[in-house]
Structure 1
Amino acid sequence: MEILAPAGSKESFLAAIKAGADSVYVGLKEFNARQSAPNLDYHDLAVLTDYAHSRKVKVYFVLNILIKHDEMNDAVRLLSRVSKTGVDAVIVQDLGLARIVKDYFPGLRLHASTQLACHNSSGAKALAGLGFRRVVLARELTLSEIRLITASSKSIEYEIFVHGALCFSISGMCLFSSLMSGNSGNRGRCAQPCRRLWRGKKNAGYLFSPKDLELIDHLEKLGRTGVSSLKIEGRMRSSEYVFRAVSQYKTGRKTEDLGRRKTACLFSGRDEKLFEPEKEQCLGVKIGEFPHFKARAGDRVRVVDPKTDRSCVFKYGVEKPDLTGFKKGDPVYLSGSRDFEGDSLAKELDAIYAAYRSKASPAGIPANQYTSLVARVWPKPAPQKERLWFRIKDPAWLELLPPENLIFAVDQTNLRHLPAAATVELPPFIAERELGDYRRIRADGYVLNNISHFGIVPASAAKIAGPFLYAWNAYAARALKDLGVEKFFASWEDDSSNIQRLKFPLIVTLFGRPVIARSRMLTREHDYGTVRSEETGVELDQSMEGELSVLVGKIPVMLFDAKERLKSAGVNEFCVDLSRIKPDGRFLAELLAACENGRNFGNSCAFNFRRGVK
């Protein structure tokens, strides 16, 4: 099995190769899911790819974020330039960019990012059909699920994370950071609110901060799963961490990697100590509490304020940091050993760069040639009558709503209560063992929220792309249209500027309480109820839906006052999402009056619609 290592810096790139990695994955400063990492520039990528290939190490380039419509030209120009370096594959989330790679860069292997949320065999088969050669499976899968998925189709390679940070939410479905600050995890700018302090009805602490993944003890089992690649997370971590982590999997011997405490997550059964809310999950080995700790001169030490997440890293006995503001008892961690030969990496890099000679490279695609994919696909429609959809989960709403334009959002809690006539919305996460439950549903139309849904619903059924089957640009919409999608929900976290540039059939949700995170990691024992951020005061409702824990914004999103502006941009279909609202005739009347009059009421927010999403 391939050992795939993170390279968030030049030093980490070289450390991975020296430790024995078979391949590395790397991003530049734009369009990747680790915008806060040092990353490389184009010259670095050219030099280090050449060096890696001389050592028979592959290089995978990451472009694994959602791309706004007006950004696609820059993304394709970057891809065209990067393709000349000889990288071995590109890791992608955006289905529009994937379509462009497939059609215009046939020499580049397409790898499906874990951000595409592939968690069942139906998703893997759908991605293979779109031209992906490899898929990075979701981190939350069990060993038996991985075996079932890999056995289902040999037309695509499988890659899994075996080491490094875990996200509380299923990747690709998390709006947590976006709601809190406008910094979208789907765009590489996650501010990690799950690592902060939260207070629930019974508990307080690091309620959503899991330990780090480590599967070193399961290599023999992994070897029998059909998985091709073992991936180590850590593009924002040090070169020493990368060297230590890669060395573990190369030798099969467990060592200290200076990361967080470890878990196998759900791989071999539920870890009851996956979360330890009373303990901060900081990187490094705890060596004391400020101001008393033990370190050697030259060791890298991190002092952390758990309440604000502020930290200070310095070389003990060499540098004199400003530790003003840290309090007695704040934890202190060893984040790097003086024994690690970081200086020798720098010298070796200097030699590699000095020896590099640029090579002739093939030309990229002609500028804007790819735009033919969306030219005249959606001609300007004749003026249409305004249409208002209603999304519900509770069948009691059926007594209060008109029978037309109903979307019934199903999950494991309400599958037995499907109304006779409604468009059925499938949940973003469907476990392998649940596929049969959803395949038995029969409806005239479906709202799809994951790539796997194309293998679940009848091919002839009317299809709408839901808010989690992202179409942030016309190229993603074209890729989905070719799969039978007729209309597209705007993403909850998208902003006004981008939405108004999308000239394909849109449905914009004007009211609702979006699910901002879905997690397999919490159980019914983690009954937090309403949780409150001790840093910002933001409140969220935590509850269980089947075996998933969901976080929902306490304050609803309301955009009734933007309806006329959206109509002037060509949007004439809207939605009122009642799926998180208790059936109430009076409240419904108030909502409908507000929608009709274009006015908001009560306590509400606009998510990123006005402030923009970064």
Structure 2
Amino acid sequence: MIKPNPKPQLLAPAGSLEAFFAAMENGADAVYCGLKEFSARAKARNISLTELEGMLSYARQRDRQIYVTVNTLVKEAELPRLAETLAALEALAVDGVILQDLAVWRLIRKHFPGLRLHASTQMTIHNSAGVRMLERMGFSRAVLARELTLEEIAVIRRNTSMELEHFVHGALCFCFSGQCYFSSWLGGRSGNRGRCAQPCRRIYHSRGKDGYYFSPNDLSAIDLLPELAAAGIGSFKIEGRMKSAEYVANVVSAYRQVLDAPQKQRTAALKQSKELLKASFGRLPTKGFLTGPNPTDIAIPTLKGATGRFLGEVQAVRGTQLTFKSRDRLHVGDRLRIQPKSDRAGTAFTVRELFLARKAVKQVTAGAQVTVNSPFRDTFKVGDTVFKVSSGKAFTLSEAACRRKLQQAGQAPLPVSMEVGLADEILTVAAQCGPWSLECSYPVAVHAASSSPISKETLQGVFERSGEAPFVLHSFRAGELPPVVIPPSRLKELRRDFYRQLADLVARERKAARYSHLQQAQAALLSPQVSQRAVSRQITVAVGQPRDAHILNDAGVDCVQIPLSAAAIQGLGRRLTGRESQVIWDVPFVILDQDWADYRAAVTLLVERGFKSFRLNNLSHFDLFDDASSLQLSTGFRLFSLNSQAVQAWRELGARETVLYLEDERNNLADLLARQGDGHAAITVYGSVPLITSRIRIGGLRPGSRLQSDRGDGYRIEKRAGLTVLCSETDFSLLDRLHDLQQLGCHRFIIDLSHIGPFSAQGKKVLEALNRGQGVAGTSPFNYDAGIE
């Protein structure tokens, strides 16, 4: 049986200073926050470096921790700024950096060793092999994918000693985190760049029915905290860097109450906490996948995806006034959001005036016909829905008050270990503070002691008083002391001098280290390179099944990519004998622990038969290969490569070819291809983009179902390797940009026909367009021309 964590950490979001103090004052053990740049919640207010320094001081004085999210994908031109950010975070000694892009990992490992590495849930770590890879790469914590059951988490725990973190509360993504291209497909606003437009929350039409098919309810695992601890989770994470301080205060307080409750009082604490959570204005609660692999309440198509407490529908609109029957109490100061019937975003405002039967009031009870005055005219319509998203009783610490609290906190003291010796009227003081050490010798006038000679306790008492110097005495030792007395004024004088010198040393060394590490990192960034060698074009066609592998008979096709599965291996026969070097086996994105042995056996069999090329789509896949040196491993687009540092990282891990990121734009590809260094880069130039890949089964829809948005965009549902996939009915194509891409320096191209087959009418049309160097009508270049935010 798994031994429960004695005291799991309660980790809270801090998207603003107010949310930080709400977390601190309501019992969070740690918070995670993002800076103005490189944060996967770019729409949050986020934190400046100056604010972060004050937050760290405040937290350390209370034995709390702060982790910083640097968890977006980074463009090539942003790498110098990324290095500056990492240098600043190392100088501040933050408690951990949460990352997604391996550029961040590579820069930290090589140039900023003072930073601890946390793997974001956006890395889709979902099995023991993935955690083993993180251990090899120097990570200290893994934030596991939210698609795991308690049993699957326990299996991972048994195979690692690494810190494991899991979300326990807040918004869920329908897609595996980090693998959603839906928002980016609709307008270049990439979720992996922190700019998700949340198209999953909108309404879609299928077979005459409307539904919120991709809008999950909110995770709430407050009933399962002992089970999560027993499964091996050491950090309970609350989602919500976009949420208000009120939300943070309510949710942290609720979870703190349950975590601290004695066993006999846990039932009562749970009841009280659930009442408190009702005030957090979230969606309906679900336990997600924790209780089993097929949850029925995680996404209910009939429920709107809006957050907040549903109050009713607008019954009348008169200028700026709205009338509706409120299902809940309403106060002046409450914040409302009016949601239109379409899938457009809602509009929020704070209630300043409230009327009951034309009489101005401060509050109304549930069931009242109420009129509110809004700051908007001609914006709302009868039938729009009304949600309460925060109350007038919100956490009320203003931003100015937050800043004052940070200033009052001052600088966090650094622990000092000290040793003192006295000989021949010379007092020697030696101290160790982190990686820095200082030793000073002071002449002192001594007098023979008739009583109460100098002692270790006396000296320790002197040096415990560091005054305004940012130090705290952690340990103190003294050698053998002669029976003498030193004037107290002299001891105070040399104490002040020693701490001044130590403070100067620490400040100087920190500054030098920051500058040195930054210079090394920026110098190591690759410069543009001009290739003088002629490179021939290589075409790989991805197919859906082994029987389509005879596309290799086409003179224009160099390689074929086949999905790796047990069925594919069993039906292979001798079909590809003699062509092993032209086959790339595409490893499925998700392989759970219970299936791992089967895939390892399949890989072993294929290698024995002479196949050498495998496309990896998850960090865990590297663990499938005992000796990668004799193989041709490549990374698929799901292993993000948006910059040259990430490309270098994959090569250092064993990949000889890198498929560049599917969402990318021309300008960044040009920058990246000019700096990629040695090795091979490939680009997908035709395919069906997997907008959403999910473990969730969609209620009411089967594979093959068609959907349409209220904008007229068409989509289809597919089943791939046991997962639900949403694809656009419009294919992605850069076939008419091949010459441009070759000019940029890419000569390896992937034509993904797995969804249509290479011998279908459409498949033949695509291959003909490839041979002619032309585009395909009715396709989209994705972000290539318009760019990615």
Same structural fold, with TM-score higher than 0.5 when normalized by the shorter chain = yes
Question: Any idea what SS the aligned residue of 2:330 has?
Answer: coil
Is the 2:169–2:239 Cα contact (8 Å) retained in structure 1? yes
**CA shift at 1:76, angstroms?**
1.1
Tell me, yes or no, if structure 1 residue 38 matches structure 2 residue 45: yes
Is the 1:200–1:529 Cα contact (8 Å) retained in structure 2? no
Q: CA separation in 1, counterparts of 2:344 and 2:783?
A: 24
Is the 2:703–2:719 Cα contact (8 Å) retained in structure 1? no
Alignment match, 2:241? 235
Q: CA separation in 2, counterparts of 1:466 and 1:310?
A: 34
Tell me, yes or no, if structure 1 residue 474 matches structure 2 residue 627: no
Alignment match, 2:150? 143
Tell me, yes or no, if structure 1 residue 65 matches structure 2 residue 226: no
- Change in Cα spacing, 1:194 to 1:417, as seen in structure 2 (3 Å) is farther
* Mean Cα deviation higher: 396-405 or 263-272: 396-405
**CA shift at 1:608, angstroms?**
0.6
Tell me, yes or no, if structure 1 residue 521 matches structure 2 residue 696: yes
Tell me, yes or no, if structure 1 residue 176 matches structure 2 residue 327: no
**CA shift at 1:575, angstroms?**
1.4
Q: CA separation in 1, counterparts of 2:781 and 2:207?
A: 27
Q: CA separation in 1, counterparts of 2:303 and 2:32?
A: 31
Alignment match, 1:246? 252
- Change in Cα spacing, 1:38 to 1:453, as seen in structure 2 (3 Å) is same
- Change in Cα spacing, 1:473 to 1:438, as seen in structure 2 (3 Å) is same
Tell me, yes or no, if structure 1 residue 338 matches structure 2 residue 392: yes
**CA shift at 1:523, angstroms?**
5.1
* Mean Cα deviation higher: 139-148 or 553-562: 553-562
Is the 1:393–1:414 Cα contact (8 Å) retained in structure 2? no
- Change in Cα spacing, 1:585 to 1:381, as seen in structure 2 (3 Å) is farther
1:496 to 653, 666, 687: 666
Question: Any idea what SS the aligned residue of 2:671 has?
Answer: coil
Q: Which has the higher helix share?
A: 2
1:261 to 267, 284, 289: 284
Tell me, yes or no, if structure 1 residue 303 matches structure 2 residue 338: yes
Matched to 1:428, the amino acid is F
Alignment match, 2:559? 405
**CA shift at 1:130, angstroms?**
1.0
Question: Any idea what SS the aligned residue of 1:433 has?
Answer: helix
* Mean Cα deviation higher: 567-576 or 517-526: 517-526
Tell me, yes or no, if structure 1 residue 280 matches structure 2 residue 434: no
**CA shift at 1:384, angstroms?**
1.8
Matched to 1:393, the amino acid is G
Tell me, yes or no, if structure 1 residue 200 matches structure 2 residue 200: no
**CA shift at 1:75, angstroms?**
1.0
The 5-angstrom pairing of residues 220-231 of structure 1 reads: 220-231=226-237
2:714 to 539, 552, 558: 539
- Change in Cα spacing, 1:63 to 1:200, as seen in structure 2 (3 Å) is same
Question: Any idea what SS the aligned residue of 2:298 has?
Answer: coil
Once the two structures are superposed, what CA deviation does each residue of 1:67-120 show, in whole Å capped at 9, x if it has no partner?
111111111112212332331111010111111112211111110011111011
Q: CA separation in 1, counterparts of 2:558 and 2:234?
A: 48
* Mean Cα deviation higher: 585-594 or 516-525: 585-594
Q: CA separation in 1, counterparts of 2:539 and 2:772?
A: 14
**CA shift at 1:202, angstroms?**
5.7
**CA shift at 1:481, angstroms?**
0.9
Q: CA separation in 2, counterparts of 1:548 and 1:45?
A: 40
Residue correspondences, number = 612
Q: CA separation in 1, counterparts of 2:389 and 2:598?
A: 47
- Change in Cα spacing, 1:97 to 1:347, as seen in structure 2 (3 Å) is closer
Is the 2:650–2:658 Cα contact (8 Å) retained in structure 1? no
**CA shift at 1:417, angstroms?**
3.9
Alignment match, 1:608? 783
Q: CA separation in 1, counterparts of 2:189 and 2:564?
A: 29
Larger radius of gyration: 2
Q: CA separation in 1, counterparts of 2:194 and 2:403?
A: 30
Is the 1:556–1:605 Cα contact (8 Å) retained in structure 2? yes
Question: Any idea what SS the aligned residue of 1:213 has?
Answer: strand
**CA shift at 1:582, angstroms?**
3.1
Is the 1:69–1:501 Cα contact (8 Å) retained in structure 2? yes
Q: CA separation in 2, counterparts of 1:571 and 1:114?
A: 31
- Structure 1 unaligned blocks of 5 or more: none
Alignment match, 2:725? 550
Question: Any idea what SS the aligned residue of 1:236 has?
Answer: coil
Q: CA separation in 2, counterparts of 1:271 and 1:160?
A: 18
**CA shift at 1:411, angstroms?**
4.8
Q: CA separation in 2, counterparts of 1:146 and 1:387?
A: 42
Is the 1:407–1:423 Cα contact (8 Å) retained in structure 2? yes
- Structure 2 unaligned blocks of 5 or more: 1-7, 259-272, 315-322, 354-372, 412-469, 471-506
**CA shift at 1:373, angstroms?**
4.8
Tell me, yes or no, if structure 1 residue 425 matches structure 2 residue 425: no
Tell me, yes or no, if structure 1 residue 596 matches structure 2 residue 775: no
- Change in Cα spacing, 1:376 to 1:178, as seen in structure 2 (3 Å) is closer
The 5-angstrom pairing of residues 453-464 of structure 1 reads: 453-460=621-628, 461-464=631-634
RMSD: 2.3
**CA shift at 1:194, angstroms?**
0.3
Question: Any idea what SS the aligned residue of 2:656 has?
Answer: strand
Q: TM-score, normalised by structure 2?
A: 0.74
Is the 1:173–1:468 Cα contact (8 Å) retained in structure 2? yes
Q: CA separation in 1, counterparts of 2:729 and 2:406?
A: 53
**CA shift at 1:381, angstroms?**
6.5
**CA shift at 1:415, angstroms?**
5.5
* Mean Cα deviation higher: 520-529 or 392-401: 520-529
